[in-house]
Amino acid sequence: MTSKIIIMAERIKDAEDRLLESMFASPPLADDGFSVRVVRKVNRRLWLRRLTLPAAAVIGGAIAIKPLSGLVALLSSLSSLVPLDAINMASNSIPQFQTIVLGAILLAVCLVGTRFLED
């Protein structure tokens, strides 16, 4: 009830209000490609966002390759210190390193592909 009264009171305009309204009034502006420019910017942002994660993954992978290969070399040199029996036992119980890497790459490709398909 109170809000209705407030709205009614707002609608009652005096001559000064009407004068100000006519002073403030301006003709509608033609679009003239404005909305197209905005949508183009929005699309660009969307694509940038979609590409950010895969690009970051690729860059991160490229940066990580060198220290990772160093780590693998270090581990393989350490393996000579480990008794041969233990190595045989471990290699029998876990899959090959190459298989793990291949699996990880396939998983990453699948995830990125799914994301693109969703988009």
Partner 1 sequence: MSSSADNELVARVVSAQDTAAFGELVRRHQSHVRNFLRKLSGDYTLADDLAQDCFIHAWEKLQTYSGRGSFIGWLLKVAYTTFLQSKRSAKRYAEIMTSAGHVADQESGGQTRPDDEFTDLEKFLAVLTEEERAIMVMSYACGLSHREIGDATDLPVGTVKSVIFRGKEKIRNSFDIKDHNHG
Tokens of 4: 């209705």
115 near partner 1, rule: CB under 8 A = no
Q: Tokens 């396939």 label which residue?
A: 106
**Helix, strand, coil share (%) of the chain residues, nearest 5:** 80, 0, 20
- Taking the complex as a whole, the smallest distance from the CB of residue 33 to partner 1 amounts, in Å, to 10
Q: Which of 16, 66, 77, 85 binds partner 1 (CB under 8 A)?
A: 16
Q: Which is nearer to partner 1, 26 or 77 (CB)?
A: 26
Q: State how far the Cα of 91 lies from the Cα of 98, in Å rounded to an integer.
A: 12
Which residues contribute to the site for partner 1 (CB under 8 A)?
A: 6-7, 10, 14-17, 19-21, 23-26, 28-31, 34-39, 41-43, 45-46
